Structure 1
Amino acid sequence: MKHLAFLLLLCLALPALAQDAVYKEQKNVAYRTGQQTDYMKERCVLDVYYPEKAKGLPVIVWFHGGGITGGNKSIPEELKKQNVIVMAANYRLSPKVSCPAYIEDAAAAVAWAFQHAAEYGGDTAQIYVAGHSAGGYLTSMIGLDKQWLAKYNIDANRIAALFPFSTQAITHFTVRKEKGIPEKQPTIDAFAPLYHVRADAPPLYLYTGNRDMEMLGRYEENAYLARMMQLVGHKQTYLYELDGYGHGDMPKPSFYLMLKEIKKKK
């Protein structure tokens, strides 16, 4: 019984020990190499948040939102001191660039994570990709359309799971705007995650706010993506509608759900 009591105390202490670990942050690490424009040097950077003496930890590559026209990288507070490594990436924005430049940047950031995760104590078998809104769109595109990571000789199926928060499943409205298509004209082309549904994709966790509080039918887009993934034979697509939350505040509960899934897989 004494041994059992000790083990119980140890188990209770483990979360506290993880939270007490010393965390570091390395800022503005360039994730692209070779010839670059000044704008690429400015935007193609990421921050790495990691615990000291980490080994074999999950890695979350996080893409911010902002409609592909704004926004900046930051380490989400909900992901701090969670015994995971977080890589928060910037990417180039429209109208300074046009599609597919920002998708290429997202793929380059994820490729960098695969290439360098071990240097920070990360496990390349546990690399997760996530993002909110525009960041969710980039997450979905590089996870479902294998061509983007293939340029770095990385199979997108190596991603442990995809966590798009309130993603666009049709072609993103900024991509449509660049092509002169109205914001409320639904389009599914090669730049729509829906176009790339496939049975062998990584596990896909789709989180949205309440359908009546979300923007521009975002829940319904995700519901259609989930249905089509299931119809093509994907066995690990999960759709969550978060009652009481709209587009802007739905990330908070989504972080909790994502961490719960990641910690189940460890």
Structure 2
Amino acid sequence: MRYFVAFFLFVFSLLDVQAQELRYKEIQGIAYSSSKDSYVQKQCLLDFYYPEDKKDFTTLIWFHGGGLTSGNRAIPERLKGGDFAVVSVGYRFAPQVRVEDIIKDGAEAISWVMKNIANYGGNTQKVVIGGYSAGAYLALMLALRKEYLAVHSVDADQLLGVISCSGQAITHFTERQSRHIRDTQPIVDEMAPLYWVRNTPFPIMLMTGDRELEMLGRYEENAYLARMLKLCGHKDVKLLEFQGYDHGMLTPALPLVVRQLKEWEALRLTNSNQKSESTKK
């Protein structure tokens, strides 16, 4: 165990040194949809921040919050300079479109990344999807319900991981409101990540604020999702609760997002090396 820890400390030290030496570029307002609809052209854009001098980098696709009715795409400053790329996704809002249409926007954005990231030096086998609040809900739906990405010939199971910061695990409240269902009436149907729980091959990190301060049972939803994933046989699910923080838990969560990305990247490197040695034998 001592050598195992030492190895990871060595890898992280190399990543930190490399991050200090890298140059980064940001491209804003990339259209990821070919639709000619004016609302799609306005909303379905992404910002792309990546290390120019690194090859085979990890990419985090980030979905913003706002209840699926508002918000702006943005790359959090705390996610910059970490030797990985960040893609911030804009999407359409309810009630102009249905919640399922918004999820499909997210799938199309992920498809753009998978088809284009290698042109900038990225690796399609090292893509993580995540987000905050409504954005975390989108990430969970897209990862757990494989059909959304399959439409674009993308296999959700090739993801490196999923990070959810205070996302809903039950049917999103905006979807429930469209059906005239009150906020305090929990529903788990096809529009809920919990409905699609399965033993995914990629790790999942769930984070929420304090259960006594969060929105409408947000911690308990995530705790139930974590439990059901484990009962399905999932071996790598983390559930973190930021005590003392309400729904605005993103500030303390972002450093852990960065650390988790580096851990997953290092673990994948280790696994790849082990497979390569095994093949040689």
Same fold by TM-score greater than 0.5: yes
SS at match of 2:98: coil
Distance across 2 between alignment mates of 1:229 and 1:38: 40
Structure 1: segments with no counterpart, 5+ residues: 1-10
Distance across 2 between alignment mates of 1:241 and 1:222: 10
Distance across 2 between alignment mates of 1:99 and 1:17: 40
Conserved 8 A contact 1:47-1:89 = yes
What's the offset of the Cα at 1:200?
2.7
SS at match of 1:48: strand
Distance across 1 between alignment mates of 2:132 and 2:15: 30
Question: Paired residue for 1:259?
Answer: 258
What's the offset of the Cα at 1:14?
6.0
Conserved 8 A contact 1:58-1:126 = yes
Query: What does 1:1-266 align with in structure 2 at a 5 Å threshold?
Result: 15-33=16-34, 35-248=35-248, 250-266=249-265
Q: Return closer, same or farther for 1:146/1:12 CA change in 2, 3 Å cut-off.
A: closer
Conserved 8 A contact 2:18-2:83 = no
SS at match of 1:81: coil
SS at match of 1:65: coil
Amino acid corresponding to residue 26 of structure 1 in structure 2: I
Amino acid corresponding to residue 143 of structure 2 in structure 1: G
Conserved 8 A contact 1:150-1:156 = yes
What's the offset of the Cα at 1:23?
1.3
- Count of residues paired in the alignment: 256
Amino acid corresponding to residue 83 of structure 1 in structure 2: D
Distance across 2 between alignment mates of 1:38 and 1:13: 46
Conserved 8 A contact 1:54-1:120 = no
What's the offset of the Cα at 1:80?
0.6
Conserved 8 A contact 1:64-1:131 = yes
SS at match of 1:100: helix
Q: Return closer, same or farther for 1:201/1:138 CA change in 2, 3 Å cut-off.
A: farther
What's the offset of the Cα at 1:68?
0.3
- Following TM superposition, where does structure 1 have runs of at least 4 consecutive aligned residues deviating by more than 3 angstroms? 11-14
What's the offset of the Cα at 1:244?
2.0
Q: Which range moved further: 217-226 or 12-21?
A: 12-21
Structure that is richer in helix per residue? 2
Amino acid corresponding to residue 173 of structure 2 in structure 1: F
Q: CA RMSD in A?
A: 1.8
Distance across 2 between alignment mates of 1:116 and 1:12: 29
Amino acid corresponding to residue 16 of structure 2 in structure 1: P
Conserved 8 A contact 1:170-1:221 = yes
Structure 2: segments with no counterpart, 5+ residues: 1-11, 266-281
Q: Which range moved further: 227-236 or 100-109?
A: 227-236
Distance across 2 between alignment mates of 1:224 and 1:72: 30
Conserved 8 A contact 2:68-2:99 = no
Distance across 2 between alignment mates of 1:46 and 1:73: 7
Distance across 2 between alignment mates of 1:225 and 1:140: 10
